[in-house]
Each structure stands twice: as structure tokens, then as C-alpha cells.
Structure 1
Amino acid sequence: MEIIPLRQMKKGQSGSIFQVKATGELGRRIREMGLIPGARVTIYGRAPLKDPVAIRVLNTTLTLRNNEAEYIQIEID
């Protein structure tokens, strides 16, 4: 299994959250959105300039900026 930052995933790619490296307020906000270790995520789409990224997690679509997505490590299946 390969572990990469969520930011590097391509549209349609899926995986499980391995680790959230963010701390403080950003880490709390990311976890409150349901982005916790073990959660399945799928890249749903990207804006024309590649920022932000839309993801599906827990039957919800969320958008994250690339600088936020960099803190989320994904285990690719």
C-alpha cells in the first residue's frame, strides 16, 4: 500500500485516511468534518486551477484547499 498526501490524489482515486498531521485549530476543523483515520475518501473533482479539491467522505461532498489537503495522508488501495 502506498501512502500519499490527499493533495496528490487524482480525480476518481480512492483510499483511506492514514493520518492527519495538522494540529491546533486547523487539525480540529479537519477532524470535525469527519476526516479522521480510517475514513474512506474519493476525489470527486478539482477546480480549473486545481485548487480547491472536492472529496467524498461519509456520504458527504467537502472541499478543501490544497494547503489543507497536504496535512492529510491517504493509504491508496
Structure 2
Amino acid sequence: MTSTTLDQLTIHQTALITKLNTTNANYRNKLLAMGITPGCKVSIVRTAPLGDPIQITIRGFQLCLRKTEAASIQVELED
């Protein structure tokens, strides 16, 4: 499996969240409250015309993240 960050994925790519790369406790808690937790599958639905924000599917619902937020989420690509 290849390790990368969520902002590097392309449309319709699916990956497994492995780590939240942030030292800010409030920001980490925000991500966890949205259901972005290690071990969850995530897929890219679409991106805005200029690439920000990114729409993802996680835990059966859709969510939009800023590219900077997605860059702090480490994932492993599924083969």
C-alpha cells in the first residue's frame, strides 16, 4: 500500500485513513468529531474548479474539506 495525504488523491480514488498529522488539539478534535478517524475508508467525490475544497465520502455521508485540512490527513491507497 502507498502512503500519501488526502489532498493528493484524485477523483473516485479510495483510501484508508492511517493518521491525523496535527499537533493542534482543537483541530484534531474537530476532525474526529466529523468522523475522520484512523481506520475509516474515504473516497474523493469531486473537487472545486480551482481544487479547493474537496468533497469526500466517509462513513456513508459526504463532507467538504479545505485542501489544507485534507493535507493533514495521512492515508494509504487501496490496491
Task: Settle same-fold status: TM greater than 0.5.
Answer: yes
TM range (shorter): over 0.9
Aligned partners of 2:70 and 2:57: how far apart in 1? 13
Encode CA deviations 1:27-63: one digit per residue, 9 max, x unaligned: 1101111100000000000000000000000000000
- The TM-score normalised by the length of structure 2 is 0.94
Q: Name 1:35's counterpart in structure 2.
A: 36
Identity %: 32
- Which sections of structure 2, spanning at least 5 residues, go unmatched? none
Question: How many residues matched?
Answer: 77
Unaligned runs of 5+ in 1: none
What's the C-alpha RMSD, in Å, of the aligned pairs? Answer: 0.7
Name the structure 2 match of 1:51: 52
